[in-house]
Amino acid sequence: MTPPFRVAVVGCAGRMGRMNLTTIHATEGCVVAGGSDQPGSPAIGADIGGLIGVDPLGVTVTDDPVELFAQADAVIDFTTPEATRRHAGLAAQAEVVYVVGTTGLAPEDQAVVEQAAIQTVVIQSANMSLGVNLLQILTEQVAKALDADYDIEIVEMHHRHKVDSPSGTALMLGQAAAAGRGVNLDDVACRARDGQVGARPRGEIGFATLRGGDVPGEHSVIFATEGERLELSHKAGSREIFAKGALKAALWGRGRHPGLYSMRDVLGLAD
Ligand code: NAD
């Protein structure tokens, strides 16, 4: 009999952390290898089953990620950029499949993730859903087909607790639009507007951010010109799609060569 695939979750008391635990627990052939959260979190020491509303699993939440990485085949990380930097180093040492969903990474955080991918399998995406990864491809294709007479605006909405802005997904869509146009996003992005900002420069890619309530994530890419407007949209109904995508990525990564992979690789959508 094949042994179960042991998947651990760092930041397991968070919104995505709990959803990841629930998904692993419900998936045949996978077991929850453990979960961690930051020191001082009220979840430390609690049974993971209690955290996700099922019978006790006999595994408690730890604040020691070193121990956690040692007992897992894969680790799923939806935490903070600072925590992800540490976890990436541990993933490289333990050579586990490492799935990173954390957004808002600064270039120096990203460099640590890329360094880890030299030693182990890392799958990273700002959005683990099938729909958004398809939206990314469509955005690039449409941006390629339309010239700069079409103004590109990216609008996103998330729940009131989200800390980074624009969302990682909005930036990912902006990168796709810029790639379609053959430009560098940093050269054309307008990430916020306030006051007498003047007329919209031709070729700009604009971002607008809405925050409120419990919205798991909504994104639209708008191509607007005189006389018509094309809008591509995705709406997440629940966080489950991200957790299912993350576990799919972990399973896909089993036995692969070290490297940095994306959800497009996992979903078979890469060129
Ligand atoms: P959250 O605040 O609910 O959860 C984060 C958890 O990480 C918390 O429990 C926190 O205590 C824990 N944490 C912080 N520092 C830690 C440390 N050093 N060690 C262990 N745990 C630590 O946030 P969330 O809504 O679950 O989102 C988490 C991240 O995932 C964000 O960056 C968000 O943008 C991203 N996200 C990505 C996707 C995707 O598909 N890639 C989808 C949704 C959210």
pLDDT digits (tens, 9 = 90+) for 14-46: 999 999 999 999 999 999 999 999 999 999 999
Q: Supply the pLDDT for residue 271.
A: 73
Which DSSP string corresponds to 62-120? Answer: ES-HHHHHHT-SEEEE-S-HHHHHHHHHHHHHHT-EEEE------HHHHHHHHHHHHHS
Q: Could you tell me the two tokens for 169?
A: 């997904």
State whether the beta carbon of 41 lies less than 6 angstroms from ligand 1. Answer: yes
State whether the beta carbon of 21 lies less than 6 angstroms from ligand 1. Answer: no
Buried b (16+ CB within 10 A) or exposed e, 69-84: beebbbbbbbbbbebb
pLDDT digits (tens, 9 = 90+) for 51-67: 999 999 999 999 999 99
Is the N-terminal amide bond of 166 cis, ω within 30° of 0? yes
How many C-beta atoms lie closer than 10 Å to residue 265's C-beta? 17
Residue type, 134: L
Q: Supply the pLDDT for residue 270.
A: 83
Of ligand 1's listed atoms, the one at least distance from the Cα of 16 is 26
Please state whether the predicted TM-score (pTM) of the whole model is above 0.85.
yes
pLDDT digits (tens, 9 = 90+) for 190-229: 999 999 999 999 999 999 999 999 999 999 999 999 999 9
Residue type, 180: G
- For residue 191, what are the CA distances in angstroms to 71, 153, 197? 42, 10, 12
Which of 62, 75, 103, 244 has most ligand 1 atoms within 8 Å of its beta carbon, as the pocket-test mutant?
103
User: What percent of the chain is predicted at pLDDT more than 70?
Assistant: 100
- For residue 114, what are the CA distances in angstroms to 31, 89, 123, 163, 175? 27, 10, 10, 23, 18
